[in-house]
Amino acid sequence: MTDKTATTAGQGGEPHQRADADHPVLTTNHGVPIADNQNQLKAGARGPVLLEDEIYREKINHFDHERIPERIVHARGTGLHGYFECTDSLADITRADLFQKRGQRTEVFARFSTVAGGAGSVDTPRDVRGFAVKFYTREGNWDLVGNNIPVFFIQDAIKFPDLVHAAKMEADRGYPQAATAHDTFWDFISLMPESTHMAMWIMSDRTLPKSLATMEGFGIHTFRFLDQAGKSTFVKFHWKPKAGLASSIWDETVKTAGADPDYHRRDLFERIGRGDYPEWELGVQLFDEEFANAQPYDILDATKIIPEEVLPVRIVGKIVLDRYPDNFFAETEQVAFCPSHVVPGIDFSNDPLLQGRLFSYQDTQIKRLGSTNWHQIPVNQAKGREGGCPFHNMQRDGHMQMQVPKGRANYEPNSLALAGEIAGPREDPKSGFRSFEEDLDGQKLRIRPESFADHYSQARLFWRSMDKAEQAHIASAFVFELSKVSLEHVRKAMMANLRNVDETLATRVADGLAMTLPPASPVAAEPIDMAPSPALRIIGGPREKKDLDGRVVGILFADGTDAAELAKVKDGVKAAGGHPLLIAPKIGQVPLSDGSSVAADAQLFGQPSVTVDACAVILSEDACGKLLKEGAAIQWVMDAFGHLKAIGHNKAAKPLLDKAGVEPDEGVVDLAGFVEAAKKRYWDREPKIRTLA
């Protein structure tokens, strides 16, 4: 790719703070003044970063070692074993072994996580979700380490410690935990216009997934595929959930956190238990230099996407996660992912965020797992190679060494095999890993290319691609978050940035805060209008979930419930691929109308309707009369209606719906139409029950 005109750090119009009378000079730990805290040292504006950048290495090294043993970010997570199956050969594009043959399977371990909270936080805050997959290929381990959002907050890895420090609980008071609704986070975001696109995503329903099985995943960065001859093809990775996309809404999420802090990990555990294995298709966007140069954005910029309508996603495989770890600590906690772990046929681009991650993750694992030998922990070991030890090298000793190397030669090359001693491993020029042979010509400097300067066009694209209900949720989320910001100038700065995204959005946020809308902030590059991308929607998008596969349907029943009605609804849910959950005021054997009894799966007070996807209420007149006096029963129905879920009911249960304020609509049906109605949410109901920004 040809370099575009470069600009110095701190794009024109960006409000980065400089040293003055009120701000002392920023220095390294050794007192050296820092001239540029925005960019890593690179070989040319769009070239790779340089190892000699001591300012970056000192900053990221200190950051990597700030916490032990818990992960600094992505501490709250859950993992699953499974396999990857190639469904479309890429042998003509990459030499990577796992993509050569249709039907070829590769063992995997996947970990999903929240970003901001600690290990003891809840599963369901508004947050980005980590989506990391370790492939145990026959040529070593490949770690595809991404998120459920395809872009990131920053363009250069040197800003990562600043981002996470701002997002974490505030340093003086130790709260809020697992939340971005506070001063320091929004102060940082408001001063970093490059974060605006990501801010749109995190305020959207994407950060409130209904289940980890109903979210997408992305590799975020641009990588390279290399074929046998070393020819490069750029690639971006996508995970598409077989279960479809589905999110929660804010009120539902808040109540879920209180009802079940482990909701997401419990959901995956139970899916595995009933054989409803989470599954994702792996898709790729493949393109060359000519395509990259023709786009109105830089494909090395991690704050940008390539819309699927511009470059379709080609499905090349799938992962099926079918086994929960035998021990959470040994596997889920000790698994270690590094973006630097690639296999022959996969290589890196010069994305400065990716380039920084290549150093940071390896450094973090050494500190967190206590040893340079962390790769010997079973979940991290290479295991795909046929025969013998999965790794061979001259590395020896070190803390927690678990191997017993034989022979006296721990160096290469050596000739001791000629004396009858153990032969050591040697390099393999034919099949070994090779980097892309890229021509480089540039000055050694700290700089950001001008092609990175447009911070608002894609944020505008995202907003204009949303369904009206999703736009309302985004505006409402900004209002909620900024209402928790005590510094008025931060709120104003953020609204000034939003004016560059969309005037309607900014106005809705200002109205929701009862504040005067400030002038738009200055821009480094004028935003452009891009064609909307329907693929970015959840509601009304191509992957919105509209079936019962894998979904849990709560059926509220009690003493005297009609046995035939209960059986028909239960069987209908199962036939449609759903999982019926019988909920009663008391757990245990519940007597039915025909003299039989059935055990409840859960108790009403401990299984609120936020934990299920649709609700049926099947009661006798006597039982309904009793439940009219139970606040938990009224709230169970009220929340189901407020959270836009389908509600099926028999005639005797109607008084309970009336007391809960349930109004007739398309999603409130009799039992005959319930199974079909339960396949979706009813977004048209929302304006009738909730005023959003």
| Digit-coded pLDDT (tens) for 554-601 | 999 999 999 999 999 999 999 999 999 999 999 999 999 999 999 999
Is residue 147 part of the annotated active site? The answer reads: yes
Mean pLDDT of 603-610: 96
Q: 578: Cβ–Cβ under 8 A, 6 or more apart, which residues?
A: 548, 549, 550, 551, 552, 553, 613, 614, 675, 678
Give the torsion through C-alpha atoms of 420, 422, 428, 431, to 10 deg. Answer: 120
Helix or strand holding residue 506 (H, E): helix 503-513
Catalytic residue among 37, 74, 341, 455: 74
pLDDT confidence tier of residue 476, bands split at 50, 70 and 90: very high
Q: In the listed set 334, 363, 380, which residue is the last one of a domain according to the structure?
A: 380
Q: What is the DSSP letter of 2?
A: P
Give the whole-angstrom CA distance, residue 183 versus residue 481: 9
In a domain, residue 496? The reply is: no
Say if residues 576 and 550 touch (Cβ distance below 8 Å).
no
pLDDT at 206: 97
- Phi, psi dihedrals of residue 162, rounded to the nearest 5°: -65, -45
pLDDT at 9 over 50: no
pLDDT at 166 over 80: yes
pLDDT at 387: 54
Mean pLDDT of 299-310: 98
pLDDT at 67: 61
Q: 379: Cβ–Cβ under 8 A, 6 or more apart, which residues?
A: 109, 330, 331, 334, 335
pLDDT at 401: 83
Is residue 23 part of the annotated active site? The answer reads: no
Helix or strand holding residue 582 (H, E): strand 579-584
- What is the identity of the amino acid at 115? V
| CA 62 remoteness from chain centre | 25
Catalytic residue among 37, 39, 141, 147: 147
In a domain, residue 475? The reply is: no
* Range name among 88-102, 333-347, 390-404, 631-645 with the lowest pLDDT average: 390-404
Q: Write the burial class of residue 211 (CB in 10 Å: 0-12 exposed, 13-18 middle, 19+ buried).
A: buried
Q: In the listed set 321, 355, 380, which residue is the last one of a domain according to the structure?
A: 380
In a domain, residue 286? The reply is: yes
Q: Pick 411 or 96 by higher pLDDT.
A: 96
In a domain, residue 543? The reply is: no
Share the mean pLDDT of the chain. Answer: 92
In a domain, residue 547? The reply is: no
Percent of the chain with pLDDT over 70: 95
In a domain, residue 683? The reply is: yes
pLDDT at 5: 45
pLDDT at 84: 98
CATH number, domain containing residue 582: 3.40.50.880
pLDDT at 390: 67
What residues make up the domain containing 592? 552-689
In a domain, residue 431? The reply is: no
Helix or strand holding residue 258 (H, E): helix 250-259
pLDDT at 305 over 60: yes
In a domain, residue 157? The reply is: yes
Q: What is the pLDDT of residues 226-259, one digit of tens each?
A: 999 999 999 999 999 999 999 999 999 999 999 9
Global pTM value:
0.90
Question: What is the gyration radius of the CA atoms in the chain, in angstroms?
Answer: 27
- Count of structural domains within the chain: 2
Give the whole-angstrom CA distance, residue 665 versus residue 684: 9
Q: In the listed set 323, 356, 380, which residue is the last one of a domain according to the structure?
A: 380
